[in-house]
C-alpha cells in the first residue's frame, strides 16, 4: 500500500505568516509546521505557539517600520523566506454614505497597503525559484460585498486580486509565484460580529449550505505553495462554498 503523498513538503523551508493570531492564519501556521517548515508567526496580539521552529513576532501590518523590522528579524533568524502568506485583515461595516474617511483608510491600509509593504520588504528574501506568495482576498472582492463588511473591505479585497496579477508578472522571472486565496464565509472569529439572523441569511446563499473551515482555507494555501501548483501564478482561488460562481 502506498502512502498518501504529502501535499506540501516544506522541510528546511521558511514560511512568514501574518494574521497568525486569527482563525485562518493560525491554521496556516499549524499546517506549515506539519509540513516541516520553520514559521515566522505574526500578529498584534501574542501568538500562542511554543514550537521551537516558530519565531513569534508582534507586527502591525500597516506600519512600514514594523514590517521592515519583522523582515530583518526573519533574515537574522532564518536567512530567507520561501512562503509569504498574508492572512491579516479586517472588515468594515455600514453604508458607504455613512463611512468616515478615517475608517475607509484603516480598512484599506490593513488589507491592501499592508500587502504592498510586506511584499516590498520581503522581496530580497523571497527572490529565488520556488518562492511563493499567497495573499488573502474575499468573495466580497468578486461580488461587491454588502454593508455587513462595507465598501472599503470589498474594494480592498478586489484590489488585492490585481496586486496579485501585477506581482505575478513582475516576479515571474525571479521564480516567485504570487496567488490569492478568496474565501467566502469562514468559521473564524471574524464572523462573530454577525447576528443569528445574519448567519442564517448568509448560509442560505451558500450552495454548499455551510461555511468553509479555517483548515480548508489553509489547505488551499498549502496547495498554492506546493510543487503541485508550480505552473500557477496570478490566480485567484475561490473557497466560497459556491457563493461566487459567475465571474
Ligand X SMILES: NC(=O)c1ccc[n+]([C@@H]2O[C@H](COP(=O)([O-])OP(=O)(O)OC[C@H]3O[C@@H](n4cnc5c(N)ncnc54)[C@H](OP(=O)(O)O)[C@@H]3O)[C@@H](O)[C@H]2O)c1
Active site members: 153
Edge-to-edge strand order for the sheet containing 14-18? 54-58, 38-43, 14-18, 83-86, 132-136, 177-183, 236-239
* Least distance in angstroms from the C-beta of 199 to ligand X: 11
d(CA 140, CA 186): 13
C-alpha cell of 198? 445574519
Using an 8 Å Cβ cutoff, are 213 and 188 in contact?
Answer: no
Q: How many CA atoms lie within 13 A of 13 on its CB side?
A: 27
54 versus 61: smaller Cβ distance to ligand X: 61
Measure the CA–CA gap between 93 and 191, rounded to whole angstroms.
Answer: 12
Q: What count of other Cβ atoms lies within 10 Å of the Cβ of residue 149?
A: 21
> Cα separation of 98 and 32, whole Å?
41
d(CA 40, CA 88): 14
Provide CB contacts within 8 A for 192, sequence distance 6+. Answer: none
- Closest contact distance (angstroms) between CB of 21 and ligand X is 4
CB of 141 to ligand X, least distance (A): 9
Q: Which residue is nearest to ligand X (CB)?
A: 22
Q: Which is nearer to ligand X, 87 or 126 (CB)?
A: 87
Nearer to ligand X, 68 or 191 (CB): 191
Shortest distance (Å) from residue 175 CB to ligand X: 26
Q: Tell me the backbone φ, ψ of residue 105, rounded to 5 degrees.
A: -65, -40
Q: Please state, in angstroms and rounded to a whole number, the distance separating the CA atoms of residues 152 and 112.
A: 10
User: Which lies closer to ligand X via its Cβ, residue 66 or residue 130?
Assistant: 66
* Nearest of 159, 182, 46, 163 to residue 107 by alpha carbon: 159
Closest approach of ligand X to the CB of residue 184, in Å: 6
Least Å distance between CB 34 and ligand X? 18
CB-nearer residue toward ligand X: 105 or 129: 105
Residue 130 gets the label, from left (phi > 0), alpha (psi -120 to 50) or beta, of left
**Nearest to ligand X of 22, 150 (CB atom):** 22
Binding residues (CB under 6 A) for ligand X: these are 18-19, 21-25, 43-45, 59-62, 87-90, 110, 136, 138, 183, 185-186, 188-191
Amino acid at each position: 500500500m502506498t502512502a498518501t503523498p504529502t501535499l506540501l513538503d516544506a522541510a528546511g523551508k521558511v514560511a512568514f505568516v501574518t494574521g497568525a493570531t486569527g482563525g485562518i492564519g493560525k491554521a496556516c501556521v499549524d499546517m506549515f509546521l506539519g509540513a516541516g517548515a520553520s514559521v515566522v508567526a505574526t500578529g498584534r496580539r501574542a501568538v500562542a505557539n511554543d514550537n521551537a521552529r516558530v519565531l513569534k513576532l508582534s507586527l502591525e501590518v500597516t506600519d512600514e517600520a514594523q514590517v521592515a523590522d519583522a523582515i530583518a528579524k526573519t533574515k537574522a533568524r532564518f536567512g530567507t523566506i520561501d512562503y509569504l502568506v498574508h492572512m491579516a485583515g479586517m472588515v468594515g461595516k455600514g453604508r458607504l454614505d455613512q463611512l468616515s474617511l478615517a475608517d475607509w483608510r484603516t480598512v484599506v491600509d490593513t488589507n491592501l497597503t499592508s500587502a504592498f509593504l510586506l511584499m516590498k520588504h520581503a522581496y530580497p528574501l523571497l527572490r529565488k525559484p520556488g518562492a511563493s506568495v499567497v495573499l488573502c482576498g474575499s468573495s466580497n472582492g468578486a461580488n461587491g460585498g454588502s454593508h455587513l463588511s462595507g465598501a472599503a473591505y470589498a474594494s480592498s479585497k478586489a484590489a488585492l486580486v490585481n496586486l496579485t496579477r501585477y506581482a505575478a508578472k513582475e516576479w515571474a522571472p525571479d521564480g516567485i509565484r504570487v496567488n490569492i486565496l478568496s474565501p467566502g464565509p469562514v468559521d473564524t472569529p471574524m464572523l462573530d460580529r454577525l447576528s443569528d439572523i445574519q448567519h442564517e441569511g448568509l448560509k442560505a446563499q451558500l450552495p454548499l449550505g455551510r461555511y468553509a473551515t479555517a483548515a480548508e482555507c489553509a489547505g488551499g494555501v498549502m496547495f498554492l505553495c506546493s510543487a503541485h501548483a508550480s505552473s500557477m501564478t496570478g490566480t485567484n482561488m475561490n473557497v466560497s462554498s459556491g457563493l461566487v460562481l459567475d465571474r
